Amino acid sequence: MKNKLSSILFMHVSFLVYCLYPLIGKFATKFDLFSFNFIVLYCVVFAILFLYALLWQQVLKKFPLSTAIANKSVTIIWGMIFGLLFFDEKITPKMFLGTALILSGIILLSMDKPEVKK
């Protein structure tokens, strides 16, 4: 059980890393195109995507693709949280409802036991 919990935590930390690239990309838009700061931030974006590609491969070693893809929808929730914290975006009741549906799907899929082929 502890090993499965650490694997799930690893998967979600990987998705958190993935959610950093649009956050940093949005910060980069505050600078002039091709300015030093813009280029540095976009290099960080590429580094994050490279790191995520490596993490994603490790996630796929631990989980079936269907489970990993379903759990990746948690990135929508991180996007809402980052928008609220860093860009003063508002979270509407419809967004809460959508988030609840996403979390329900993740929980239902995570509880599903894989079928044993005979």
Beta carbons within 10 angstroms of residue 85's beta carbon = 10
Percent of the chain whose pLDDT exceeds 90: 56
Does pLDDT of 4 surpass 80? yes
What are the residue ranges spanned by the domains of the chain?
2-111
Percent of the chain whose pLDDT exceeds 70: 92
Does pLDDT of 97 surpass 70? yes
Does pLDDT of 78 surpass 80? yes
pLDDT band at 118 (very low <50, low <70, confident <90, very high): low
Smallest CA-to-CA distance from 105 within 81, 80, 54, 69 is with 69
- Show the beta-strand stretches assigned E in 9-118: none
User: What distances in angstroms separate CA 114 from CA 53, 64, 107, 109, 111, one per listed residue?
Assistant: 26, 9, 14, 10, 9
